[in-house]
Amino acid sequence: MSPGPKLPPSGLLSDIPAKLASKHGHDSVATGAKRTNLPIPLTQHSPTEVLPRLFVLHRSSPATEFINHWGTALRYIDSGDRDPASALGSWFQSLLQVGDVSAVRWQTGFFTADGLGHLVPTLDRLRSVDGTVNAVIGSNNGDTLTSDIERVTALIGVPRTNARLGIASFSGAFFHPKVYHFSRSDGSQAAYVGSANLTSAGVGSLHVEAGVLLDTRVGDPPQALQQIADSIDRWFRAPISAGLTEVGSALVLPHLQATGILAAQATHRSQNHAGASGIIGGTRPRLQPLIVVPPLPSAVLSAVVPTPPVTGGRGGQPAPGGTPSAVQASARRTFMMTLQKTDVGVGQTTRGTSRRSPEIFVPLVARDLDPDFWGWPTRFIADPNWTGPRDGDGLGKLDRPSVQVRLGGSTIPVHFWYNPDKRDLRLRSEHLRSAGSVGDILCLERSDGTLGFDYAVEVIGAGSPRHATLLGQCNHTVRNSRKLFGYI
């Protein structure tokens, strides 16, 4: 784990007496809304005594201003006053409505996707320009829902170069910060540090929440705001911090659910944190949210698609009385297949012989189980120069050229083509062939194309924990082959 926050440079500390002692003469602490002077001059405090203290200037509802150790005014909001302006969401709304945010960072102990409503326009814009979004989400006791992480994954747009999403989970301890940091295009920064989780209950202040607001535009020191940003970014610095799993794409989510880091459905405990439970009863007062968090767009809600039941026997072989049936368009997002020697091998190694064409072989039973996943046949065009054999439907060679595929940090063109002679679908790319070995699992996740690619590819190495999980979901066999495949 990274060390805790560092003390400010000594030069900053040495300026405190000049800024504060000249203003008040003595150390001042808050007692309600009244200022109390201590008999000990500020200059006698050690640096470690100075740092944690807050000094009240005045209260102007709903915010209370404090002088911090830099001599600038922090703003404190507390929804115990039940003023809508004290809700985290009100700060989100006022900060984000200008549209000049260039980077978003957050870390939250508890999370539900319905807390993201105010952030959606900003995250949409940053996704379209590959802007910075770094987010760490706690899954304490494994209560965070897979569906909520699927939604934020789609909204942030991972995988992409400048987006990082991580799930923090520990045994016997909680990941519990609630910190939100925004950078603007003019170089200024703003942040909230407090108690409100990124849930609809936290953002809307169903609960009583409190926090401190900082903003370089009103004089807060850039060093303090940058320290907040760095505290989030450091979770993703190599080596990745223990307890954090980075979500490089939605492909990792089944593994996180299988290992208990994420949950398939809400527990009573997670509902309590989200504000969905009615555990408060009797004559005790029941609070209501101070503001309404905007609902998520239908496109984000549809990012979660239930896995339809498999039709047919294991491996896509016809079940009694029928054949594998194709699913409706967009019902499945990810194709998984074990790689064999024909996929990753180069053919004969005798000197003077040519290497085999770099092609991944997708069996037709896999294509026909979900034709829309591959864009079949609407996005394929006939090869006018094909003179070879045709299949039983009279089709010759069909091509879908230059399919944009995200592999690692690069987008590469991959040539999809149908071979009517060998009766298979082939993905031609040296990059894909070189990425895997025999027994690995190729995962191909379909994208909507808004990020500049059609599919994202990940190769899961044989022997890894995720390989064992995904192998169980490759529940279709191929006749006369050791290959396994599946969709989720």
CB 92 within 8 A of CB 118: yes
For residues 405-422, give the mean pLDDT: 91
| Lowest mean pLDDT segment, chosen from 131-145, 294-308, 329-343, 444-458 | 294-308
Higher per-residue confidence, 400 vs 408: 400
- CATH of range 314-487; options 3.20.20.70, 2.40.330.30, 2.60.420.10, 3.40.50.2000: 2.40.330.30
Higher per-residue confidence, 305 vs 294: 294
Residue percentage of the chain with pLDDT more than 70: 73
CA 318 to CA 157: how far, in whole Å? 37
Query: Given a cut of 60, is residue 43 above it in pLDDT?
Result: no
CB 104 within 8 A of CB 240: no
pLDDT of res. 393: 85
The model's pLDDT over 382-391, given as tens digits with 9 standing for 90+, comes to 999 999 999 9
458 contact partners, CB below 8 Å, separation of at least 6:
248, 249, 251, 443, 445
| Lowest mean pLDDT segment, chosen from 129-138, 141-150, 327-336, 475-484 | 327-336
Query: Given a cut of 90, is residue 339 above it in pLDDT?
Result: yes
Q: How distant is the alpha carbon of residue 479 from its chain centre?
A: 38
| Lowest mean pLDDT segment, chosen from 19-33, 86-100, 271-285 | 19-33
The model's pLDDT over 319-332, given as tens digits with 9 standing for 90+, comes to 333 333 333 344 56
pLDDT of res. 335: 94
Strands (E) in 324-409, as ranges, are 334-338, 359-363, 381-382, 398-407
Structure tokens at 61: 């509802």
For residues 460-464, give the mean pLDDT: 88
pLDDT of res. 267: 66
pLDDT of res. 252: 82
pLDDT of res. 273: 57
CA 450 to CA 154: how far, in whole Å? 11
Where are the domain boundaries for CATH 2.40.330.30 in the chain? 314-487
Query: Given a cut of 90, is residue 357 above it in pLDDT?
Result: no
CB 86 within 8 A of CB 59: no
CB 244 within 8 A of CB 137: no
pLDDT of res. 230: 96
Structure tokens at 388: 């070879």
pLDDT of res. 430: 94
pLDDT of res. 47: 34
pLDDT of res. 70: 60
DSSP 250: G
Mean of pLDDT over the chain: 79
pLDDT of res. 447: 86
Where are the domain boundaries for CATH 3.30.870.10 in the chain? 72-300
Q: How distant is the alpha carbon of residue 268 from its chain centre?
A: 24
Residue percentage of the chain with pLDDT more than 90: 55
Beta bridge partners of 399: 381, 417
pTM (two decimals): 0.57
What pLDDT band is residue 6 in, cutting at 50, 70 and 90?
Answer: very low
Tally of CA atoms within 13 A in the half-sphere of 434 that contains its CB: 6
For residues 181-189, give the mean pLDDT: 97
- CATH of range 72-300; options 3.30.870.10, 3.40.980.10, 3.10.20.30, 3.40.50.300: 3.30.870.10
Q: Which of 282, 254, 244 is nearest to 167 (CA)?
A: 244
What pLDDT band is residue 352 in, cutting at 50, 70 and 90?
Answer: low
Higher per-residue confidence, 37 vs 350: 350
CA 361 to CA 364: how far, in whole Å? 9
For residues 30-35, give the mean pLDDT: 34
| Three-class secondary structure of residue 4 per DSSP | coil
pLDDT of res. 63: 64
What pLDDT band is residue 23 in, cutting at 50, 70 and 90?
Answer: very low
